[in-house]
Structure 1
């Protein structure tokens, strides 16, 4: 019985957590359909999530593309296939590295900030004050962040991928002296609209995961500053784990719909 209890408690806790997050998703959906829209808050969150995240996104995308190009060229140069590295970087950045690594960085920067801000409002009873004034906390705190994330996340993913491919072109042509025309030709030959669809789809799903998990952790904060710290940590860890798990299943699903080399 102790063995079953050891397995059952985490399983029940995990199912309970999924249920609470699912309830939050339902409340956000109802808020978007019937609640009051607040354009000012949405614009503020777009600036916070999108505009202020650009340095992190640019650095992440650029150096991911650069190191992938360098590692590819180290191997391809022994086979005389240096130009093939351009296609590898382009496909990898769009299908995997661009969405996943950028989302992991944003889970730390944006997700932690959301959990800390909402958690601080929760433990200082500002959320209860909103209710007393007739303002629904979901309408005011969560829905603007969800809408802003849906707008900003695909653009950030596209920016990360663009800088990653640009950095790989610089590494290939300047450091390894690969002809830029051949490099770009390989990218055009092996990259198509299906890769862009995969990148944007993953970016949208990852953005929803980050904002839902982070806002839920913020609303669940308790026990003062210690509780806010724990909620912030959990938001980062849970978001990162969810991103990795969902990335695997999305990769398998999207590769069935859009296999590598589709349309070429």
Structure 2
């Protein structure tokens, strides 16, 4: 160890550190209790412990991946990464210094493997041209064109390359060999040790694993989590392997600890959950306003075009049906049998163009776009893609919310305009069919009272609706996702909640309009 390394603070320094969650009924569940531990800079550690021993909590602690919609754990004592205290929150100074490769890798499905690495390089302020070099270092010099074509082992390698983009000083890997055959697992273990040994400046590596036999030969020490006493301690790799051979449950990853492993944080009181949800919703709304200037304008353009193309046919068809049927039945059921034809068309035109079609297009748009967006963001949350953005130092709001917000604000008026056009054409067809009205006669009557004020209010209603639906969709999509059912609930919530917002906005604005 050099003098510089010996004089620098430890990679992780815990002194009298305790961490506990509040649980239903007012009790407290302790995960770590009065832990004293120092991890040296430049060392590689395997982290083992039974399910529920605190491995996932340790990852959250070191990366700052706490969810604001869940109660923050109670932490006492001191905890610091490279001398930066983390008990009160993850400081900005650690951005780029710490990263993690989570169990699901969190590769962004919509980007190619190279684009995943380039995104991380840009976020770290490094040249995107380094992507192939990093992929080659990770053992994938010629990656496939899309993420869907990657095998399990290749996904791990791309995730490693992306994690190294910021040249982190502390790197965590959560079950990097999960789902791999023994040979592939050994290859990944060797890769992690190789990238660790060649890191400049020296890197501290933690590998959370249930496969100690594979990683012990590559580890400088084994960090054993003890759920029975809420502690953690270091063991030499050969000692840990001996304990594994003897069936010690601490290193054999058997038994059950006091923490619900993975993302299953202990339950909260319903009232507390509700308050956290309201606070998070307000925070999301505030973030939407603050992050309004787009950081990724190319995403805004692509998302807007996609939203328009995905919804315009559905909305136009629905509007056409409504416009045609409304005019058809208004003329066919005219009690004056053909008298006041122009007045009937004038009333139909005003209601369709200024009120009914914009409202229905808002429903159609929300049902089609908000549902898809909520499913996409919810799946990204479930598969750790949103967490990966945070680990790269990218605000999920910049990458997801802002493009979605601008796309809905821009696309909804365009789709509404298309709906009004198709409703008008269908009305013309119905008027010609029932009353033989000419194009000029129909247009003169249909648009007689549709004025600039109607256009202004129509634009206002669609813009506000698009903004609120986008915020709601992002808020629901990025909430905790412990199962596919949670993703489905987010989709349903986006549809129902979005339609309620559209109805409230259109109803309120229409009262002001008339």
* 1:63-91 residue CA offsets vs partner (Å, 9 max, x unmatched): 11111101211233635122223212221
1:40 paired to 2:259 = no
| Contact persistence 2:332–2:434 (CA under 8 A) | no
- The alpha-carbon distance between structure 1 residues 154 and 12, as it changes in their structure 2 partners (threshold 3 A), is farther
Q: Which runs of 4+ in 1 moved over 4 A?
A: 9-19
Q: Who is 1:50 aligned against?
A: 308
C-alpha separation in 1, matches of 2:361 and 2:278: 24
Question: What SS does structure 1 have at the residue aligned with 2:295?
Answer: coil
1:228 paired to 2:487 = yes
- The alpha-carbon distance between structure 1 residues 56 and 221, as it changes in their structure 2 partners (threshold 3 A), is farther
Q: Who is 1:5 aligned against?
A: none
Give the superposed CA RMSD.
2.3
C-alpha separation in 2, matches of 1:120 and 1:51: 22
Under a length normalisation based on structure 1, what TM-score does the superposition of the two structures give? 0.85
C-alpha separation in 2, matches of 1:60 and 1:25: 31
Q: What's the offset of the Cα at 1:153? A: 1.2
1:75 paired to 2:333 = yes
| Contact persistence 2:321–2:423 (CA under 8 A) | yes
1:189 paired to 2:445 = no
* 1:107-136 residue CA offsets vs partner (Å, 9 max, x unmatched): 111001111100111111111111111111
Which is richer in helix? 1
| Contact persistence 2:349–2:447 (CA under 8 A) | no
C-alpha separation in 2, matches of 1:109 and 1:206: 14
C-alpha separation in 1, matches of 2:270 and 2:510: 27
| Contact persistence 2:405–2:467 (CA under 8 A) | yes
Q: Who is 1:258 aligned against?
A: none
Where structure 1 has 5 or more consecutive residues not aligned to the other structure, the ranges are 1-8, 256-264
C-alpha separation in 2, matches of 1:14 and 1:176: 57
Higher RCO (CA < 8 A, seq sep 6+): 1
* 1:174-206 residue CA offsets vs partner (Å, 9 max, x unmatched): 233234333222134222111111211111122
Q: What's the offset of the Cα at 1:51? A: 1.8
| Contact persistence 1:28–1:139 (CA under 8 A) | no
* 1:124-173 residue CA offsets vs partner (Å, 9 max, x unmatched): 11111111111110000110111111111111111111111111011101
Q: Who is 1:85 aligned against?
A: 344
C-alpha separation in 2, matches of 1:177 and 1:19: 59
C-alpha separation in 1, matches of 2:340 and 2:273: 51
| Contact persistence 1:94–1:198 (CA under 8 A) | no
- The alpha-carbon distance between structure 1 residues 82 and 221, as it changes in their structure 2 partners (threshold 3 A), is farther
Q: Which has the larger radius of gyration?
A: 2
Q: Who is 2:288 aligned against?
A: 28
Q: Who is 2:399 aligned against?
A: 140
| Contact persistence 1:116–1:228 (CA under 8 A) | yes
| Contact persistence 1:83–1:178 (CA under 8 A) | no
Under a length normalisation based on structure 2, what TM-score does the superposition of the two structures give? 0.45
| Contact persistence 2:365–2:412 (CA under 8 A) | no
C-alpha separation in 2, matches of 1:93 and 1:10: 44
Q: Who is 2:320 aligned against?
A: 62
| Contact persistence 1:150–1:208 (CA under 8 A) | yes
Q: Who is 1:252 aligned against?
A: 511
